Structure 1
């Protein structure tokens, strides 16, 4: 169904761009906007292939030296999978395991392991003719459609794993530029979107709000548009609705086997080193409110809204996370490579604090679940990127699962993707 919707979307685009082509601008005034129009119409842009990112040399050697300091549970090991500049959100192709890696800048990278030795052979920019703006959010549908969520636009790339090596790729606009959020709400703060395709086939997108704590006169607009929440829409961009509200800035969402949506939330700054906590939340149905801005994190009330009554039925987090650790990407682990104690639990990437007198974070955490589905414990799984002297040797951003069940970790400071594998008995 999703493929059929996107085929219709792309087909309608062909008709529109075909009409535009009759009055097309001369070649000498060609822009990247023109390139996107051509790609929608399945026409060549003449864009040259992007250069390869070197995978050997001093930078790779330095990253491997850092990885030797990372502590993991017994039986696990961590290796450099790829050098990827500014690496953020990771989408793993469902067919060949090609990685598509978003950034907070202007590029998406493809990462290819051709010989399947679990080390990347080639890293290049994806669709170099497209003018991306903060293309942080990347996610795949089961039938191989890649969705890219920028700051204020959503694009789709059918069969991306099979077309990505050519600079010209099939492309469709799901949400036009300036229509994901009102243009007047664009900001330099909390602009990194994330996405997941849900079990219902809809695309779920987290929209961080730009303030530390938003003013009251913004709340109605944000509730209506889904800013400071999670929205969902059909594959072709239709039937948009606000799925969840009361979220400050989530940069990690994933679905569990029971179809519930888990997500991290970064909480209010400037309230002290040890307050408020970060949040690990679970949405079980549409329409839930998770408490922000009345709550700054957990049960801690914000100064700005402490005298106001929170909305009825506000959903509390299932776990409070270390204050200011900047919990970003997460996945519900459904692989089989790791021991059974990890299956169904959640891996969470801590980016690390920026506003604490003593830094905290820069780890991969693991949240185990009890028989009741609630969080039993949250403990460090991989740590060592933050030294005792408070220096960041790396800052994890996202976690993803490779097709073999190993864990991938992105790091936008080191500019790398790591692979954590298990060598013991997984039974």
Structure 2
């Protein structure tokens, strides 16, 4: 049932949607803190909610890199273009032979009649931020044939996709997470094009596609596939019927084809990775918007089997979101807190553990997190790649900026980082969907 009015990004069009609604807005005093460092670590500072009549909209307009320009690497690191001139590169997958797959993708076009003025306004804002281009719907293969850190070859590797995102290779089968289904194609090492039509493995929730990106990761033994599915709303304002199967990480048994919910209450999980020391599955999650610049922190967390992480009724453990009606105190009580906050509204998407990399020692025992950048925060947050040091399988220290400079002096976006992975040489690759590039981060000369 809907009991209030939905006030979301539609406010940009100075339109208030009346009628029944699932969310009611509770007004609180203005949040005091606007410190960009708030909302990090295992126990972040959480101010009182501040859901204002019109949401804070502070997104970076697109400037794109000038010729020869690039992000700024931290001390001990250097960055160069592995490939440029791509078309909205979102996600990366490094193949065993050293080839790199890039999903060039964007939000699927929808003619869903339930997509109203709020989604129209949201799309206009995303267009300002460089996300309004049609989806290329393809995977491109990049090959660094001479090993100099630059891809001399590129090939259209796979077409016939629907807003592809995550990729996973298991034996001779390449799995691709489309916006609406997990599909697979045969793969032979070294090939530069797949002409076989993708075969559907399982349908995935789609439709309005508030969060359209789906990721997939194979278990180390290749028997299971883990698939992320984000929510179809901010906090359930479209009704819970359209949230069926969403806000969750699913586990697919490859042998039987059976799916089960592995963890739930995750508003928008994206990156997936296994922590090398413990073998635990980790993810990064985009939390909810429109209750203040300092709420709610995005986070990285180990994923506990069968756990519920709160969405939409609660955030960061047992903090109830009073916008969600009717209240469900039993769900709030059930929610567990994540492991580590990475800042509010950062839109953190890709993660990659650095153990086993060839990066300097200061950068090879932690997790890299690509932060695409905020729209609902003042001042802006994200728009960089950070590094979270780990020890004994857990975060062990403050986040450190690894790659910055994606915003220019006027706070326009020259680029925005999305997917991250290690290449065969142990360097870090970063997909930049606004800059249309893949950046390669390695150690500076003389560093260890």
Structure-1-length-normalised TM-score: 0.76
Partner of 2:308 in structure 1? 289
- Within a 5 Å distance, the mapping from 1:149-228 to structure 2 comes to 149-165=177-193, 168-169=195-196, 171-175=198-202, 179-181=203-205, 185-201=206-222, 202-215=224-237, 218=240, 222=243, 226-228=245-247
Q: Shift in Å at residue 299 of structure 1?
A: 6.0
C-alpha contact (below 8 Å) 1:158/1:170 kept by paired residues: no
C-alpha contact (below 8 Å) 1:138/1:195 kept by paired residues: yes
C-alpha contact (below 8 Å) 2:384/2:406 kept by paired residues: yes
Q: 1:275 & 1:173 partners in 2: Cα distance?
A: 38
Q: Shift in Å at residue 426 of structure 1?
A: 6.0
Q: 1:77 & 1:394 partners in 2: Cα distance?
A: 17
C-alpha contact (below 8 Å) 1:408/1:417 kept by paired residues: yes
Taking structure 1 as reference, are residues 313 and 300 closer, same or farther at Cα in structure 2, changes over 3 Å only?
Answer: closer
Q: Shift in Å at residue 323 of structure 1?
A: 0.9
Partner of 2:290 in structure 1? 270
Q: Shift in Å at residue 215 of structure 1?
A: 4.9
Query: Secondary structure in 2 aligned to 1:110?
Result: strand
Taking structure 1 as reference, are residues 102 and 321 closer, same or farther at Cα in structure 2, changes over 3 Å only?
Answer: same
Q: Shift in Å at residue 133 of structure 1?
A: 1.0
Structure 1 vs Structure 2 CA RMSD: 2.5
Q: 1:203 & 1:124 partners in 2: Cα distance?
A: 27
C-alpha contact (below 8 Å) 1:88/1:397 kept by paired residues: yes
Q: 1:103 & 1:294 partners in 2: Cα distance?
A: 31
C-alpha contact (below 8 Å) 1:100/1:111 kept by paired residues: yes
Partner of 1:139 in structure 2? 168
- Within a 5 Å distance, the mapping from 1:29-68 to structure 2 comes to 62=65, 65-67=68-70
Q: 1:85 & 1:92 partners in 2: Cα distance?
A: 19
C-alpha contact (below 8 Å) 1:114/1:120 kept by paired residues: yes
Q: 2:373 & 2:188 partners in 1: Cα distance?
A: 32
Q: Deviations over 1:183-226 (max 9, x none)?
A: xx51232001111111242111100011001159527x84xx53
Q: 1:111 & 1:372 partners in 2: Cα distance?
A: 32
Structure-2-length-normalised TM-score: 0.72
Q: Deviations over 1:259-295 (max 9, x none)?
A: 21111111111111121111111114x2111111122
C-alpha contact (below 8 Å) 1:338/1:405 kept by paired residues: yes
Query: Secondary structure in 2 aligned to 1:417?
Result: strand
Q: 2:189 & 2:66 partners in 1: Cα distance?
A: 27
Partner of 2:410 in structure 1? 389
Query: Secondary structure in 2 aligned to 1:163?
Result: coil
Taking structure 1 as reference, are residues 274 and 217 closer, same or farther at Cα in structure 2, changes over 3 Å only?
Answer: closer
Q: 1:248 & 1:172 partners in 2: Cα distance?
A: 28
Partner of 1:121 in structure 2? 152
Structure 1: tracts of 5 or more residues without a match: 1-60
Ranked by relative contact order (alpha carbons within 8 Å, sequence separation 6 or more), the top structure is 2
C-alpha contact (below 8 Å) 2:357/2:422 kept by paired residues: no
1:250 to 269, 282, 286: 269
Partner of 1:91 in structure 2? 93
